[in-house]
Chain A
Amino acid sequence: MSEMEKELGGGAIDPSFWRGLTQPRLSRRQALGAAGGGLLGAMMLGAESGAASLPNKGIGTATWWKKQKLHKTLNFANWPLYIDTLKGKHPSLVHLQQTTGIKTNYYEVIQDNSSFYQKIRPSLAAGQYIGYDIIVMTNNNPQLHYLMELGWLIPLNQAAMPNFHKYAGPLIKDPAWDKGNKYTMAWQSGWTAVGYNSKKIPNPGKSIDILFSKKYAGRVGMLSDAFELGHAGLLAIGVEPISSTEKDWAKAAKKLQLQKSDGIVAGYYDQSYIQHLKNGDTWVSQCYSGDIFQADLSTKYADLTLLIPEEGAMLWTDNMCIPLYAQNPKDAMTAMDYFYSPLTQSVVEYYNDYICPVPAAAQQLLHPTGWNAAALKSLRPEIGLPYSVTAKSQTVFPTPARIKASKAYYQFKSQTEIDTWNSLFLPIIQGA
């Protein structure tokens, strides 16, 4: 292990990074004093000395980018069912190859942030290519922040993202989690909200309380992600998540514990929650907005409905980024900006139905002006909906009211906070 990695070993999390800008940084001496105390000390020590010697030092600068060449190959790791698909091919990626010669190997390998991170981490720590040039990580989990903090991402070539600078929407441009889009460009965003079966529940009301209602005891699905679960608890007790305190977390955990001991929760699910909602095991569930929209497309599941509670819905963003040691960074950069063309995005979005990062794509759906016309037409029988449904969908191109109802996730300021959070909410999920 190199000296630098040893220093990073304690988990280099720069506290200022977590938007905890108000917290004073520890001096090296203070940190050394605390180091005996264990993890936190080691963490601060890493942060203090790490910044100067991160492994991506000198990488991603303008001169570095100038030296990169197109290899006409791209290895892209993304979440399942997240890109336009027609008979096993992806029209947007086919068009990318036709225009730039870049052949994309598209892998749907990311099921959740944490386990994917565990898979790529050993390679990154060993200074090796992880096999992907683009990966997509969510801002509501610590892993994206770990990647930035440990210097495991290549800073983007700001000169090579004209589409992004021109078309990126306000929700995802210069976001709180990556100021100036130094490392990331959004792939899609979405809400974690409430999905319900309107046949079983004709009058759901407007509140997130529906997840806590004894009327639906044994029929409520919750997410097994501790961050998602905790935030549902915070919304339910009427606390603004971004400015919540540990006391609020404890209160939220109590509320969720009660929800469980009262027999209201049927289960804590990963992505499989949608299957349980479809199977009728649950009638109402914490959900991701796009899943409900996609389920609605099938007449069999047209009863599934999305509810954005009046308390608000958590807004998350999945971000494309280029992992360190990527072999085809210029191809990655080219593809990432290509996805910010309203033409490309109209095709992706027609299939996808999450929150579109490019508002101008709505016009392209209604009046396609280029290659997207043919691509949309070929997708039409598969999707079976007029383009205008996507273009006018509030879950794809949100209205100002919807944007206002969107809540930001709490930004952790240290590993200790993450540990506290986990110690409160994990026992609920792992109950015996």
Chain B
Amino acid sequence: MSLPAGLWLLLLFVIPLFMMLSMSLKTCSPASGACTMTWSWGELPHVVNQYRAQFVTSLEFAAIATLIDLVISYPIAYWIAFYGGRKKNFFLIMLLVPFFVSFVIRTLVWQFILSDNGFFISFLQNHHLVSQNFHVLGTGFAVIAGLAYNYLPFTALPLYVALERIDRRVLDAAYDLYANRRNAFLRVIVPLSIPGVFAAFLLTFIPAFGDYVNQEILGGTANTMIGTVIQDLFLATSDYAGGASLSIVLLAISLVGIWFYARVLGSRSIEEYL
């Protein structure tokens, strides 16, 4: 490994990781913030046990949101890559423009749109399309929708890159070998885009898994995600050890995902997308 890359990794990954790990073993005073190393290994299993349900919720929500994003993004990316013609860049920018607005503000706007007095729900209720008690805000559905919306570009862009770089001559070859359009798509394009699908999955799933903004703004009482818990532990209760332990578990789960990807598709294909 070259020196700058190693230094980069050391500074931005290894050192913070070890600091987080050592934080999880310390006992900190909520008052002064001073921490003493007490080697309390018990914190890790304790918080994992205590917040197991929130981990499961996060896994579920992130997985569903990622799947939704894949289903929505694939046709879009495919269409732009294969039929965008000279306007490809224009379409890509159209896809990205909404995301130039800050993440939090976009989510807050969804809160207004989905609120019970907001125009969307009011409209449905006034036309008797849903019951008067119908609401979206505060449900798991709202959180998943928010996650899917906010992380859409993270899915669409790697997919686009994967599809765009497919050599058009392999398609010609498929047609020469009497493949119809359906077969050419399913047996040539889809397999060739698989690394892009995995990259899109990781790039969407990992941040969505640790996300707390969407749950905080759109969620209710029964769908707390692990990111919200970590934020609470650090900022509301000053439980640095607990927060650090949960962060480590979160990171470990994400690393397992990346390791799996590297095993199946090789680490080179990660470099190509990240």
User: Is B235 a contact of A114 with CB atoms below 8 Å?
Assistant: yes
A12–B31 touching, CB < 8 Å: yes
Q: Which of B81-89, B132-140, B144-152, B193-201 contacts A (4 or more CB under 8 A)?
A: B132-140
Q: In the bound complex, what is the Cα–Cα distance between A431 and B51 (angstroms)?
A: 9
B220 CB to nearest chain A CB (Å): 5
Q: Complex Cα distance A281/B32, Å?
A: 39
List residues of chain B with CB within 8 A of the CB of A150: 31-32
Residues of A within 8 A of B247 (CB): none
B213 to chain A minimum Cβ distance, whole angstroms, is: 13
B221 touches A279 (CB 8 A): no
* Contacting pair B38 A149 (CB below 8 A): no
Contact between chains at B220 and A267 (CB < 8 Å): yes
Chain A residues whose C-beta falls within 8 Å of the C-beta of B116 in the assembled complex:
279-281
Contact of B221 with A9 in the complex, beta carbons under 8 Å: no
User: How many Cβ-Cβ contacts under 8 Å join chain A to chain B?
Assistant: 116
A-facing mask of B99-133, CB < 8 A → 1, else 0?
00000000000001001111000000000000001
* Closest-CB distance, A98 to chain B (whole angstroms): 38
Least CB distance from A54 to B in Å reads: 12
Q: Is the interface of B mostly helix, strand, loop or mixed?
A: loop
- Pair B235/A265 contact, Cβ less than 8 Å: no
Query: Which has the most chain B C-beta neighbours within 10 Å: A121, A226, A415?
Result: A121
Query: Is B223 in contact with A432, judged by CB distance below 8 angstroms?
Result: yes
Interface bracket on B: 35 or more
A279 & B118 in contact (Cβ 8 Å cutoff): yes
CB pair B54 A430 closer than 8 Å = yes
The answer to whether B224 touches A426, judged by C-beta atoms less than 8 angstroms apart, is no
Nearest B residue to A146 by beta-carbon distance?
A: B31
Distance (whole angstroms) from the CB of A430 to the closest CB of chain B: 5
> B221 and A118: CB pair below 8 A?
no
| Nearest residue, chain A, Cβ from B239 | A422
A13 proximal to B (CB < 8 A): yes
Whether B232 contacts A430 by the Cβ 8 Å rule is yes
Q: Write the nearest CB–CB distance from A123 to chain B, whole angstroms.
A: 11
Which residues of chain B come closer than 8 Å to A42, judged between CB atoms? 27, 29, 36
Q: Please, what's the 1-or-0 string for A121-150, where 1 marks a CB less than 8 Å from any CB in chain B?
A: 110010000000000000000100010011
Q: Does A260 contact B (CB under 8 A)?
A: yes
Alpha-carbon separation in the docked complex, A46 to B31 (Å): 11
Which A residues touch B220, using CB under 8 A? 266-267
Nearest 6 CB-CB pairings of A with B: A11-B29, A432-B53, A9-B34, A280-B117, A279-B115, A146-B31
Residues of A within 8 A of B (CB): 1, 5-6, 8-13, 38-39, 42-43, 46, 112, 114-115, 118, 121-122, 125, 142, 146, 149-150, 218, 226, 260, 265-268, 276, 279-281, 415, 418, 422, 426-427, 429-432
B positions within 8 Å CB-CB of A: 27, 29-36, 38, 50-51, 53-54, 56-57, 112, 115-118, 133, 135, 137-138, 219-224, 228-229, 232, 234-238
The contact sample of 24 A-B pairs, CB cut-off 8 A, is A9-B35, A11-B29, A12-B31, A38-B38, A39-B27, A43-B29, A46-B29, A122-B33, A125-B32, A125-B34, A142-B30, A142-B31, A146-B32, A149-B31, A267-B221, A279-B117, A281-B117, A281-B138, A426-B237, A427-B50, A429-B232, A430-B232, A432-B53, A432-B57
